[in-house]
Structure 1
Amino acid sequence: SLDIQVPNFPADETKGFHQVPFAPIVFIERTDFKEEPEPGFKRLAWGQPVGLRHTGYVIELQRVVKVRASCSLPTAVPAGARILSLTELSH
């Protein structure tokens, strides 16, 4: 990975910069990608490459990999273990 220098305030570069790591795997926000974009969509989509801000790189969609996210509760709880509810975790 390499570090990219990014301005703290893009409209005013006199306010300094910070380093952001840039690695071979790039995660794109859900709102910045559509498999079937509507007219006027200016983000990543099939046949619509986009530039990665501050990097000088342009990326293009080659494939979409979907992974089903899930979670489950254990069927057996070890002796002495305590299962917390979501309300207990939020305090």
Structure 2
Amino acid sequence: MTVYQPFNHCSSKELLKNFQSSSNDNEAIGKSRGENTTKIHIATDTQELPINFKLTGGEVHNCRIAPEFIKKLPLRDADKEYDSEEV
């Protein structure tokens, strides 16, 4: 399963939209390859429902937010981009 599959599942059912609206985070817009972009970090449970959600600017590397992001997860199975010595 890819990261896209759970995201697509959540967004198609408007679960992501409801989860996002409960967040008090500011917009996370950053420069990536010369354009304004936002990166969506999302963790899902086994039913592909969101359990943790974070927006960052597009220039922020995944391993920079990983320590804070994965603390809330009981089991950790993540994309290789989250791999670092600290994590």
The answer to whether TM tops 0.5 is no
Shorter chain as denominator, the TM-score bin is: under 0.3
| Higher relative contact order, chain-length normalized (CA < 8 Å, sep 6+) | 2
Q: What is the TM-score with the length of structure 2 in the denominator?
A: 0.21
Question: Which has the larger strand fraction?
Answer: 2
Return the index of the structure with the highest Cα Rg: 1
Q: What is the TM-score with the length of structure 1 in the denominator?
A: 0.20
